[in-house]
């Protein structure tokens, strides 16, 4: 893609996974509510391409999306316990502002970070905990209706509907990625649900790379790694986007340690783990999580 890519919520966990995997691949514009320190910015991103703004600021958002070819929209309140006033402003109103600005600017592709919480209501007492285990064959594939498990999930379902509207009305390609449980070096430790929906950092970068490169109309896909234990199907992501995940939570123990017999090819360098300043360069008092809200351990 020759045109710039706007990444909102660039300082958050998903944004950093994307940038650390794809930092050299695209001409980035980065938007966040607070200034991004150098440790969070890929080489080559100038001050002019770094926007400090709230996504409900229509004027600032229109400026940020001008002349971009694609948008990856991550910004919002990531807390699964977020109150209604926050999800309404940050996740629904903010998403509407960004999508409308993108559609009116003629943006070609829009990748929206939805969430597993948009379908959390399917995890009923009758289905769990068997649902989280490899021998269970229940699958959600993206064709089911949203069934939010909390108000945060309601806001993500609303974002998916906004994406459908802007695709139909403006012919903007929109993909909604129901992100699972993102962790960097290993699956969530001693957490069945998290291991079933694990998304590694490099698979996260690869998935959003495919969102930028593939041709599609409107899609809802699940953002998890190629886990043996899973209740989200990744077949639509494979078919529509060409997603080819490298990681599998089954290659780790329940405690999150690599198994001795894990596939050595899983340690390939398709996406280098660091493409700019490493975490070691991050100030000690600076969290890698979203700087604008407290982080949940399961906030995607």
pLDDT tens digits, one per residue of 15-31: 999 999 999 999 999 99
90 is in an annotated binding site: yes
The pLDDT value recorded for residue 166 is 98
Q: CA torsion angle for 221, 19, 24, 63 (degrees, to 10)?
A: 90
Neighbouring residues of 108: CB distance < 8 A, sequence distance ≥ 6: 3, 69, 70, 172, 173
Q: Per-residue pLDDT tens for 242-278?
A: 999 999 999 999 999 999 876 655 555 555 555 565 5
- Judge whether 152 counts as a catalytic residue: yes
Reading the block at residue 132, the tokens are: 């989280």
- CA quadruple 112, 100, 160, 288: dihedral sign: positive
Global pTM reads: 0.91
Of 152, 191, 231, 271, the catalytic one is 152
Is 115 among the annotated ligand-binding positions? Answer: yes
Q: Which residues of the chain have pLDDT under 50?
A: 280-292, 294, 297, 299
| Structural domain boundaries in the chain | 5-281
- 156 labelled binding-site residue: yes
Q: Is there a binding annotation on residue 40?
A: no
Provide the terminal-to-terminal Cα distance of the chain, rounded to the nearest Å. Answer: 27
pLDDT at position 290? 44
**Separation CA 68–CA 66 (nearest Å):** 6
Helix (H) or strand (E) holding 35: none
Cα(175)–Cα(300) distance, integer angstroms:
16
Q: Domain spanning 5-281: which superfamily?
A: NAD(P)-binding Rossmann-like Domain (3.40.50.720)
């Amino acid at each position: 893609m020759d045109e710039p890519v706007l990444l909102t919520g660039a300082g958050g966990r998903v944004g950093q996974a994307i940038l650390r995997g794809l930092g050299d691949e695209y001409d980035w514009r980065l938007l966040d509510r607070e200034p991004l320190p150098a440790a969070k910015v890929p080489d080559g991103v100038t001050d002019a391409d770094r926007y400090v703004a709230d996504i409900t600021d229509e004027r600032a958002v229109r400026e940020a999306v001008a002349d971009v070819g694609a948008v990856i929209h991550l910004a919002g309140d990531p807390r699964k316990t977020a109150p209604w006033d926050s999800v309404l402003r940050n996740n629904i109103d903010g998403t509407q502002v960004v999508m409308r600005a993108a559609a009116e600017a003629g943006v070609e592709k829009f990748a929206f970070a939805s969430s597993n919480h948009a379908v959390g209501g399917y995890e009923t007492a009758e289905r769990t905990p068997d649902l989280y285990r490899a021998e269970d064959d229940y699958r959600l594939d993206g064709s089911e209706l949203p069934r939010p498990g909390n108000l945060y999930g309601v806001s993500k379902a609303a974002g998916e509907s906004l994406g459908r509207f802007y695709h139909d009305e403006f012919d903007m390609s929109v993909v909604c990625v129901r992100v699972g449980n993102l962790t960097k070096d290993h699956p969530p430790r001693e957490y069945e649900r998290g291991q079933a929906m694990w998304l590694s950092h490099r698979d996260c970068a690869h998935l959003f790379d495919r969102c930028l490169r593939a041709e599609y109309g409107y899609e809802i896909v699940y953002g998890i790694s190629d886990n043996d234990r899973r209740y989200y199907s990744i077949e639509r992501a494979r078919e529509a986007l060409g997603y080819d995940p490298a990681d599998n939570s089954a290659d780790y123990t329940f405690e999150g340690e690599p198994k001795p017999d894990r596939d050595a090819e899983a340690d390939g360098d398709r996406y280098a783990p660091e493409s700019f300043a490493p975490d070691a360069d991050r100030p000690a008092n600076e969290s890698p999580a979203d700087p604008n809200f407290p982080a949940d351990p399961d906030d995607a």
